[in-house]
Amino acid sequence: MPKGRVEVDGERCKGCGLCVNACPVDVLEVSDELNSSGYNYVQAVRSEDCIGCASCGIVCPDVALTVYREKSEKGV
C-alpha cells in the first residue's frame, strides 16, 4: 500500500470537515483546539495510515492541506 503524509496548516483551516469526510482511511479529525481565528481546525490523528491519495487536499476550500507521497522503489 502506498505511503503518504498530510500536513495541516491549522491557521488556514476553518474546520469545515470536508477533508475528514474525503479521507478513505480516516487519517483526519476535527480538533477540540481552536486556532487564532476561533475555528476548530483539522489535525492528522493517524498519520501512519495516510496513503497519499490527496483527496483531502483536493476538497479543501481553504488550501490548508499539503499531501506528500513517498516514491515507490519502482519509481512510480
Q: What is the pLDDT of residue 18?
A: 98
Beta-carbon count within 10 A of 13 CB: 24
How many Å apart are CA 52 and CA 54, to the nearest integer?
5
Task: Tell me the percentage of the chain whose pLDDT exceeds 70.
Answer: 92
Cell of 51: 496513503
**44 forms bridges with which residues in the sheet?**
28
User: Please, what CATH class does the domain formed by 4-69 belong to?
Assistant: alpha beta
**pLDDT score of 22 more than 90:** yes
**pLDDT score of 43 more than 80:** yes
How many Å apart are CA 42 and CA 35, to the nearest integer?
10
Question: Of the candidates 27, 25, 26, 30, which has an alpha carbon nearest to the alpha carbon of residue 47?
Answer: 27
